[in-house]
Structure 1
Amino acid sequence: MIVSYGALVPVALNDDTVRSAPKVLLHDHLDGGLRVGTVIELADAAGYRDLPTTDPAELGRWFLGAAHSGSLERYLETFGHTVAVLQTPDALSRAAAEAAEDLAADGVVYAEVRFAPELHVENGMDLDGAVHAVLEGFAVGTARAAAAGRTIRVGCLLTAMRHAARSREIAELSVRHRDSGVVGFDIAGAEKGFPPTRHLDAFEYVRQQNAHVTIHAGEAFGLPSIWEAVQWCGADRLGHGVRIVDDIESGGRGDDPAQPPRLGRLAAWVRDNRIPLEMCPTSNVHTGAATSLADHPIGLLARLRFRVTVNTDNRLMSDCTMTSEMTGLADTFGYGWDDLQWFTVNAMKSAFIGFDERLALIENVIKPGYAALRAD
């Protein structure tokens, strides 16, 4: 147990009960979370003929198999298909609406879903049009979820591609739309050879505008990527950040096997400053950032009280949900409701919305939701 709340008889922890628990998601890619059937229908509408198969079950298996290759580069190749079918406002709006509905059905009460506008302009849609389409879709999906009795709030993160040269433009786009539902700026893509410091002007602009930054760092590359993200680029959060464990010396040194792990200066700084880690366990195993769920650094980092959050990354590619992530961690590490609440509160504290809004969700939605699950 990470936290103790007393001797109450808890509701059994399983897929159904975890699905009913309020959850918070900070790291989820729009183009990585489409429904398989939607990919096929959008491909047909767009005249896109390069899907490996148009059979829904087979296509779902293909995405999972390609993702579960142990290679981040191979994993990223799967996005060629989803991005190809998201080149019109209608397609983007549909994907966003369905994402909001699917997350709400999974018990997510607050989500930040990210996408890269620069990847969706091949057919003439401009960057602002792409953002408008996604925000409209989130509004539609949120309304549909409410009509079904589920409440969710969705914020949008705008992602720039680290291998491209449009980061300042995307940063300005994120600030321009921050009063309409965009909550922050991100960069993504292969880390090796494309350090975040290549985009310093974008990060400086966002911070000067009092806006928020999260950076994919420490997923497939090591400590230098994390160091640059937090110390040069001013990241408020780290996307993944699993390689921070490279700066932690395991316990049991010398003649004292009970000696606790020792943190290096960067790991200590990240923990001391409560830099949130957007951890995506299943995805990290699929890309080779972790060898298995049991060996995932999330166990150690949670035990050492880093600001750990649990996320899906790409629900289509990794065939996962917030429910499956939470239940997988509970089964692997023996977590209970107190632990799942701890992860959820961590995430809500780290969200890119106002303090009052975060506090209201914690006090009025998250804590009561878990309190109900800790006792029958």
Structure 2
Amino acid sequence: MTTTDITTIDHTKLETFVGQAVTDMGAAISGLLLHIGDRLGLYKAMAGAGPITSFALAQRTGTAERYVREWLANQAAGGYITYHADDGTYELPAEQAMVVADEDSPVFLGGAFETIASAYADHDLVVDAFRTGSGIDWHEHDQRLSSGVVRFFRPGYAAHLVGEWLPALDGVVEKLRAGASVADVGCGHGASTVIMANAFDRSTFAGFDSHEPSIEAAREAAAQAGVQQRAKYAVAAAKDLPGEGYDLVCMFDALHDMGDPVGAARRVLKALAPDGTLLVVEPNAGDALEDNLNPVGRTYYGLSTVICTPGSLAQDVGLGLGAQAGERRLTSVLHEAGFTHVRRATETPFTIILEARP
């Protein structure tokens, strides 16, 4: 930078941005430490334990005290835990425990940080994709991506799917109670399928995903939940969806990841019963970029850059919708596929639920 350039700088703005960058720097490294705490069970050991020393926490978790002590200092500096200077103990408040320790909490985010950690591990793949324009298929990613994603989305599905999202669809709950045929397309580890199978014991559920290890994990999840007789899984791409006459087809946070979402939706339309319903769950994004310039949009654009968009570009067509496609673009995709009725059935601050009918 030349002297002339320096004189044009607004130093107040510079200092403000440096402060922002330093805050992000602390968040970036602390995200790794959050993932470490999640992976080692440090948060779970602190939850409900009250004030605890670094020695006691290390003993409870089978970890080395010196590492735990440094980790605790980072967590205290970030406000994730409370440090009691009078006796040198640390405490995980109940509110923070809901976010980092309780996997059944609707606001649990441990899976999100596991997903982000997997993206850091994939750094070289992403750099190469930027240079070549190639995609990155799901199986190429660090293995924590699959496990992180299911832990990221499951709390929201558990909190809202049966009680809010399905009842927002016209006549669907009545069909499920009577006994319906359901397909879960892009089911991943099967969290959504298992939740529905647990709630509606007269219905049958078929989960499909192109990632074989995810299907194997889904089968294990169904067996553990005791619903394996009515929740079956198979490896299949969305546009090759097996079966016909489904009363309900679901796509949970999957449509924007598909290389050919129009083709996939067109196949779903053919597989639905005449009075069937397609449920599409997607990130609740605005239609314009400026609508998403906020912390949630920033997070989803980041995940979309390293996971969702590369995943779509690795497939046939490679439309690359991205995780922030927005309701207008998603509706356009569904109309192009042949659906005549598309509406926003309900939403949460982070999720939009669309109902599509023939």
When normalised by structure 1's length, the TM-score is 0.28
Identify, as 1 or 2, the structure richer in helix: 2
When normalised by structure 2's length, the TM-score is 0.29
Q: Which has the larger radius of gyration?
A: 2
